[in-house]
A and B are shown apart, each in its own frame.
Chain A
Amino acid sequence: MEKIKITLNINDKPYDVRVFPNDTLLEVLRDELDLTGSKESCGEGVCGSCTVHMDGNPVRSCLTLAMEATGTKIKTVEGLATEDDLSDLQQSFIDHGAVQCGFCTPGMLMSADALLNKNSKPDEKTVRKALAGNICRCTGYAKIVEAVAHTGNPQDHCPDCKTGGKTKE
């Protein structure tokens, strides 16, 4: 079995990599390209911590072959922040204390980001539905849901949030 040369477009940058047909996208991201933001925990699509975007849709990178990802636009958690600034969603996670051990956070962020791209003002129910495929074993769901809902609706009063219902200055 030989390695095959493919080009992946990740966070708007092209990467030339040599992969085995049985390499998953997650393995290539973490082991070949050092993009270790996406995490592997269950490895069978149940937990959601490896979620990345393919052409704007959230997918499990542990259940996507690297070969299948050619020709698509991939966005990982590293693509959310700009060089000097966190995205509103990431800042909101910090402000709401939505990160405990942090292992689920990259997946939560990517699932939430995909939701916010499609529906910029989601209500709590919509957020819960969109994040239903992600597991947080610290069980910090309430804070995570608040953080996502608040990113979409920054004008709403939010007592738990350090920014006190204001967006990041």
Chain B
Amino acid sequence: MRLPRFDYLGPETLDQTLDLLATHKDDAKILAGGTDLLVRMKKGLLKPKTLISLKALNELSYINKKDGCIKIGARTSIADIIASDLIQKKAKALFQACEKIGAITIQHDRGTIGGNILQDNRCHHYNQSDFHRSGRQACHKDGGKICYAREEADRCNSTCQSDGATALMTLNAKIILARKGGERTMDLADFYTTDGIMPFAMESHELLKEIIIPIGGAQSAYKRLAYRSAIDYPIVCAGVLLKLSDTQKNEIDDVRIVVGAMGRSPLFLAQASSSLKGKKLSDTVAFKRAADIAMDNASTFAVHNVGATLEYRCAMVSQMVFQALEQAALAARE
């Protein structure tokens, strides 16, 4: 498959990159690892006039600990994150998620964490070749007015299948978006619009620069389900952040449950999370109940568009959440 034509720009510094983004705006796309972008371009889903490569921007590749937070440069490769002791110890969910991203021989050395968060939403009706899509009317995401995933839907129902995004949202991560002459910090949870066509609250002249994960005393875990152990996107995934009470032994103070691959963005499930407040670590009945609430709530967002049947995916939400809860509880006990 040939790539469509484009101009290639290779800025040397962050300032140059932001200048170029400010000039080209919508015509340009950022190329980091290319493992998602180039596939979409080959399928004709994207036809940018210009690609701005981050190849020379080693200043965006770092993992360090500062001000009680882990700071990760957006161009840090998945392999570097997996190899980091700091992430393994203090952000277990991100470590577990990154281990599952793609395959060692593709995404881990080329793929970047920034690219993983910014991977576009997917739908098996949309992520198809030009030829496949040319045989029928365009869907919402393709610029048309039809949704093949849900009949009569008036908007796009594409699914966010990023492992990294679900794990980072579990960990209460913040992100820094840089633009020419400034930058802004926002919660990753606020970064998502509920629009399947443009899922990110980000301007075309902005660049994802840094990811900030607060280090608390909490334990985290991440579980995902996919057909193939490598390469496949998750069909359901769940992250759990669990904090124990300071005063009561083995009592849960706060839990954060996030479910991914079930909606247009990773879903923070408030009702399921708060149902575990004040429960004992050994209370598996409460875990099961929380997992069932998570399943009920997440199911309302999902449509049948990522491979497995909707019934199966919904049923597996409860399993993934339960397993992640058990894993986090086990880690908290140690």
Contacts and interface: CB of A to CB of B under 8 A. Distances in A.
Interface residues of A, number: 33
B229 interface: yes
A65 B104 contact: no
B53 A68 contact: yes
Contact of B2 (A22, A57, A63, A129): A22
B42 interface: yes
Interface residues of B, number: 31
A68 B54 CA distance: 10
Contacts of A114: 105
B229 A132 contact: yes
A48 B228 CA distance: 14
A2 to B, nearest CB: 10
Interface stretch (B4-12, B238-246, B274-282, B319-327): B4-12
Nearest to A56: B109
Contacts of B105: 48, 51, 58-60, 107, 111, 114, 130, 133-134
A65 B5 contact: no
Contact of A48 (B4, B39, B51, B103): B103
B128 to A, nearest CB: 11
Contacts of B102: 133
Contacts of A133: 102-106, 230-231
A23 B230 CA distance: 27
User: Which of B6, B102, B103 is the most central at the interface, judged by chain A CB atoms within 10 Å of its CB?
Assistant: B103
A59 B109 contact: yes
B3 A24 contact: yes
Interface in B1-45: 1-8, 10, 31, 34-35, 38-39, 42-43
Interface of B: 1-8, 10, 31, 34-35, 38-39, 42-43, 51, 53, 55, 79, 102-106, 109-110, 228-231
